Structure 1
Amino acid sequence: MKPYATYAAEELALDDMFMRWVQHPDDDEVALFWQTFTKQHPHRRAVVEEARRMVIDCSTPLPGAMANDEMANLWERIRGSLRELDEIKPLQPSIQKVVTWWYFGRTVAAALGLLLFIGWSYWIHRSDKLQTIRSGSAQTRMVRLPDGSKARLQPNSQLEFVQQWVGEIPRAVWLQGEARFSVVHSPKTSTFRVHTSDVTVEATGTEFWIGQQAEGTRIGLQRGTLTLLLNDDDRRVTMHPGDSLEVRGHLVFPLKLSVGQLNKAVKR
């Protein structure tokens, strides 16, 4: 199961099963899953509700565009309404014209602000599409992420991420297989997260590798600091340069890798 207990609201809103729950509440099986999840994780209810509102907002159809004659009639009605304002009537004609245009300009600015907001909402909705990149059975593949960070996929691996990272939205990727990451750090960027089936790895500016195996997920850190969030567990495990760990369910085991072995794994 995906580590939903560690997801931010933006990450939940991108999840297919979460979106289906919000958009198709009559799906009893999916509804039961999320109802059970919120009962088991009451501290995540605020996050779930925020993500639900995001999905609803992005699913609401944008208003249709107005025809040219409708737009012209609208602006004429606005100008007429402005000329009838009590604040404008007592003024001399020359001054009345200036003040009318001032009110009109302010109205236009407000309307443009609304249009920009609608356009921004549409862009955000379009940019929330996941991109999937896979490596072949006998090849590695270098992936450049939206913030300039890099991931080198090992053979038979897959990486998913949103095509645009903006604002405070967590920089998140979903990994299946094995990859080496070199994460760009900037005070203006948010936390970088790698989600696997066993654990979520949080980083700021680091170099590390993650490998999924049948028995668990292995993580090795060469530079920087990592925080591990175990699935369905509130514990946080901090890693420092030279550390290597294996996560199996709720258990964490240290790996006995030498510095040379760790560097070799990270630099592959």
Structure 2
Amino acid sequence: MAKFDSYQFEDFLNDDSFITWLKYGTDVNGYWQEWLNAQPLNLNVYNEARAYLLTVLSTDVIIDDPQHQQQVWDRVEKGIIGHERKRATIKQLRIWSSAAAATICVFLGGLWYYNSKVEITTGYGEHRNVTLPDNSLVKLNANSKVSYYRAWHWHKLREVWLQGEALFDVKHLNKQPGDVKPNEQFVTHAGDVNVQVLGTLFNVKSRRNNVVVALIKGKIKVSGTQPGSHSYIMNSGQAIDYQKNDVNLRLVNSLNNKPLAWTEHKMMASGMSVGAIIENFEDTYGNRIVVDSPALLNKQIDGTISVRTRESTLYMLANLLNATVQERDGVYYLKSK
């Protein structure tokens, strides 16, 4: 019965027990009479609904007080108007909420697009050519990854991140050498080193906590990311070997492995240790090489070594060391003859 206390005009008309009570005089369990005896606060609403329903159900004309009849019809009209307003309000709220949801989705989508990166990777033994959105070219060595902002043109700098080794051929944008705008700069992040360029050709190798930058042509600025690190201006033909704060600036021709040899699937060794050759093989193909004599790791090699396939590299290395090769569980063992 307590629920009757909150009934509005429409609620009475939608209640089957109310209709039965008025039409047949049947009061299930005496609820309606008991409720009326309690003189509820919405008794006037009950009377209006009762009069309206009796008008509908009666086959005889029911003469009611004109004033009361007007109140009933005013109530009906008010209910209809209120219902229409409610529907209009709900519709408007749905439109607003849909617009707000769409705005949030657009904002979040834009934020994701602005901060997300495109990542391009190579597997073991794989090379890949990458064209950046500004038409700069990147040749990616095996077991390497280059990434850049998806919203490339929304950022002030042209930036790429490198893990592994790559050759960069950067498109020259600035027209005035002495007036370089932020969006004309190109920065490569590799390990603990940032390489800032304008338009140039350079190779970056970032492996085993060691970064080697070889400048083929142009001019670059190499800076360490660690506190207290220095910056170095490099010219064509120079290379820098950067391991934390241990920096070695030298000529490209003095490197024990020519920096662009890998683009032709080769190592061009000049006083290159066997240990360094093995590291290069492991970085390229992912397999370990174990030698039976640690002293062999310090042996220096001169000459060209093919790295086109795993087998060709192992074959040439075995010949250079006069050793046999055995493979167990993906590990290659070099044993001196």
- Scaled by the length of structure 1, what TM-score is found? 0.51
Give the distance between the partners of 2:154 and 2:209, measured in 1 at CA: 37
Matched with 2:208 is 214
Give the distance between the partners of 2:106 and 2:209, measured in 1 at CA: 47
Structure 1 residues 198 and 134: CA distance shift in structure 2, 3 A:
same
Letter matched to residue 117 of structure 2: L
Letter matched to residue 191 of structure 1: Q
Matched with 1:201 is 195
8 A Cα contact 1:242 1:259, kept in partner: no
1:164 Cα shift?
Answer: 2.0
Give the distance between the partners of 1:68 and 1:203, measured in 2 at CA: 57
1:214 Cα shift?
Answer: 2.6
Structure 1 residues 257 and 244: CA distance shift in structure 2, 3 A:
same
For 1:231, which of 225, 248, 251 is the aligned residue?
225
For 1:246, which of 232, 237, 241 is the aligned residue?
241
Give the distance between the partners of 1:226 and 1:256, measured in 2 at CA: 14
SS at match of 2:113: helix
Matched with 1:178 is 165
8 A Cα contact 2:113 2:150, kept in partner: no
Letter matched to residue 232 of structure 2: V
Matched with 2:184 is 190
Give the distance between the partners of 2:229 and 2:243, measured in 1 at CA: 15
SS at match of 1:137: coil
Identify, as 1 or 2, the structure richer in strand.
2
Unaligned runs of 5+ in 1: 1-66, 74-115
8 A Cα contact 1:220 1:262, kept in partner: no
Matched with 2:147 is 160
Structure 1 residues 266 and 207: CA distance shift in structure 2, 3 A:
farther
Give the distance between the partners of 1:124 and 1:190, measured in 2 at CA: 24
Structure 1 residues 122 and 156: CA distance shift in structure 2, 3 A:
closer
Letter matched to residue 240 of structure 1: N
8 A Cα contact 1:207 1:266, kept in partner: no
1:119 Cα shift?
Answer: 6.4
The percent of aligned pairs where both chains have the same amino acid is 24
1:166 Cα shift?
Answer: 2.1
Tell me the number of residue pairs that the alignment of Structure 1 and Structure 2 aligns.
Answer: 160
Matched with 1:139 is 126
Give the alignment's Cα RMSD to 1 decimal: 3.3
- Scaled by the length of structure 2, what TM-score is found? 0.41
8 A Cα contact 2:115 2:151, kept in partner: yes
1:170 Cα shift?
Answer: 1.5
8 A Cα contact 2:144 2:164, kept in partner: yes
8 A Cα contact 1:218 1:246, kept in partner: yes
Unaligned runs of 5+ in 2: 1-89, 97-102, 175-180, 265-337
Give the distance between the partners of 2:241 and 2:110, measured in 1 at CA: 40
1:235 Cα shift?
Answer: 1.8
Give the distance between the partners of 1:266 and 1:68, measured in 2 at CA: 66
Alignment of 1:79-158 (within 5 A): 123=110, 125-158=112-145
Give the distance between the partners of 2:205 and 2:234, measured in 1 at CA: 16
8 A Cα contact 2:162 2:188, kept in partner: yes
8 A Cα contact 2:237 2:251, kept in partner: no
1:200 Cα shift?
Answer: 0.9
RCO higher in 1 or 2 (8 Å CA, sep ≥ 6)? 1
8 A Cα contact 2:215 2:235, kept in partner: yes
